[in-house]
Amino acid sequence: MTEAPAIDDSLAAHIAEHIDPSRPPRRDEVPRVEEVAHEPLPEDRFLDREISWLAFNERVLELAEDPLLPLLERVRFLAIFASNLDEFFMVRVAGLKRRIATGLAVTAASGLSPRQVLEAISERAHELQERHARVFADTVQPALAHEGITLVHWDELAEDEQDRLRKYFRRQIFPVLTPLAVDPAHPFPYISGLSLNLAVVVVNPGTGKEHFARVKVPPLLPRFIAVDAAGRPGTPAKAGVDGGPMSFVPIEEVIGHHLDQLFPGMTVQEHHTFRVTRNEDVEVEEDDAENLLQAMEKELLRRRFGPPVRLEIAGSITPRIRRLLARELGMAEDEVYELPAPLDLTGLNLVADLDRPDLHFARFVPTTPRQLAEVESATPTNVFEAIRRRDVLLHHPYDSFSTSVQTFLQQAAADPGVLAIKQTLYRTSGDSPIVDALIDAAQAGKQVLALVEIKARFDEQNNIEWARKLEQAGVHVVYGIVGLKTHCKLSLVVRQESDGLRRYCHIGTGNYNPKTARLYTDIGLLTCDPEIGQDLTRLFNQLSGYAPKSRFHRLLVAPRSVRTGLVARIDREAAAARDGKDAWIKIKVNSMVDEATIDALYRASQAGVQVDLVVRGICAVQPGRPGLSENIRVRSVLGRFLEHSRIFAFAHGEPVEGGAEGPEVYIGSADLMHRNLDRRVETLVRVLDPDHVATLIDLVDMSLDPNVAAWHLAADGSWSRRHLDDAGTALVDQQTMLIARHRQRRRTAVS
């Protein structure tokens, strides 16, 4: 197994070298502007990141509440909200609690103490979870019933339906159930994180004594059991295809009505559902880990036993059982969430998967990018030829991932002229054609390097398996630089051609995952530009070997130069505004919390720069605050696709060889967060093609168009959704508009 390379203080020294004012600038920087004396910025200038995240999830909930959206898509957003909140508690809340308990917590940039943040989270989370449950019970569930899709209780089923479910219980559920008693001989059982459970009270008729037991709902069985007309309860993947009525029963109700079979000779007195969320963040002290892969595997086992951070209980629970659960799990009152049944609405994905086209978004088929499609017509899928003609800018999911990036790597694996492939893998799919291509290439005798990030949160086990599979196939597998996650999205293909070696590159904003590429909006660049090829060669050498002094031409690389490079460009716009020039900054990211970058944007706004930010999730900026940020606007766009691309555009760029001074635009993997800028290897690449530059700027501008639906952020941290005009007519949905553009492009290409 290839070990992760160790590094010493050279990384810190290299960062120090990067910010040394006496050192001349490199090509991956910009000349420093003249220092300007600034008035101190107000101390209360940042919104709290945790509260901002909850506001993001509230925007997801607003989509579930929107009657203009297709019904089953609203069901999906309910499930997404629940899944998001689970992860928030497992990671952010758990981490905050751990830091408070160990005395390591510090006052947040927002000025809130750790306990104030925790109290604010608890208050907002209780409000949002109750609202989430009400939306399902009062709005979405009745709408589903109107469409013939009903979630019913056991007592509402017809006798023949109950008979079928009794048979299903005996065949499919009963054999995998394990009742766990609690008494002096049986301590209170361990409750695994995110599992759904029944708290059961039984009475011994002979003695009249009560006993408590826990029954875990098997997680691999359907959360909601569909009962079809043929009498075959099961998963609803193909149910309702003809628009006919469908009924679903929560699995815990089926179990609850058969508890007598689990406790024969006992009387079941009461039962209630509950669910526990645990700390499931993974921490590996890499400096002490002789083998990172084995250390991660051990940590994943420990994750299952993290301390609980949230207890969800059904509203029907009796006070004594509530007290018992809270006491045994060590939960404070504000950590208990009493909600209407059913709990765990992440299971609604089963209902959202119903084959009812009339209740979903209209079907969308990605198109092959025009440059690749043009080559296809002459020489099928000759990606290398297309890239040699001109850089290819990709916008997924509108541009097909399978006919662009996937084809690029598959063709590289099969091409006898290709000598080497180097690839980063942060997250990929379970049946990854990308991994298969790398294995094929290695088996064909090519030099293949895969940098697998086994610390990708919640994908750790999947990536460990891929790492072992790749190693067994002869791929050189490495895990990057100790202390840093490798989050950049890079592919490098070295090809022997008639005029020598040529390097083909892909740099993207999203993972090499064909499944999420159909759901996430991401930008990618396919290029054979020699400078980018040289940059990627140097970066891969740094990641797999020892090259801490590498310098780059067209890349900004974290933790060395992303923050400093962006701040320098922001300062340059501020200087241009002070000189009376038309200065602007346009940024699209998933999250923005880095204080140094935000402060630079505040000062740019004060200098007169128009700053436009499109932020999907967390945003600590206070826009429109008098004297601080009058020139900053913040928008957020959510929809059928997850906005995931990162674009950084500045009005004034350094001239490029053979070109005039103009906008400078970067795309890449980095969000404006501490973890991205300080603890990850991230890359941003400058895009030079004028058409591509205009396209990327247009994408950001589209989100800011007053005729396009978006959320607007106010200085106090509140978001307002603007999706209707003054007459109540729906504003344009940006993603729908982009789908229409790409469909038109396909029709134009065909004609």
Distance, in Å, from the CA atom of 8 to the CA atom of 458, rounded to the nearest integer, reads 29
Q: Report the C-alpha gap between 93 and 279 in whole angstroms.
A: 8
680 sits in which H/E element: strand 680-687
Q: Which residues contact 87 (CB under 8 A, 6 or more apart)?
A: 458
List of residues 6+ apart from 499 with CB closer than 8 A? none
Catalytic residue status for 395: no
Tokens matching residue 553: 């031409």
Per DSSP, the residues of 450-507 read EEE-TTSTT-HHHHHHHHHHHHHTT-EEE--STT-EE--EEEEEEEEETTEEEEEEEE
Which contiguous run of DSSP H or E holds residue 162? helix 159-168
Pairing of the two strands 520-527 and 392-396: antiparallel
Cα–Cα distance measured from residue 4 to residue 60, given in angstroms and rounded to the nearest whole number: 39
Compute the distance between CA of residue 335 and CA of residue 337 in angstroms, rounded to an integer: 7
User: Which stretches of 488-630 are assigned E, i.e. beta strand?
Assistant: 489-497, 500-508, 520-527, 555-558, 584-589, 610-615
Select which of 272, 395, 487, 644 is catalytic.
Answer: 487
Is residue 389 within 8 Å of 417, Cβ to Cβ? no
Instruction: Give the per-residue SS3 of 73-121.
Output: HHHHHHHHHHHHHHHHHHHHHHHHHHHHHHCCCCCCCCCCCHHHHHHHH
What letter does residue 589 receive in the DSSP assignment? E
Residue 125 corresponds to which tokens in the numbers above? Answer: 């989370």
**DSSP assignment of 705-716:** -TTB-EEEE-TT
Residue whose entry in the numeric block shows the structure tokens 């995998």: 176
Is the Cα dihedral 29, 30, 36, 41 positive or negative?
negative
**Active site residue ranges:** 487
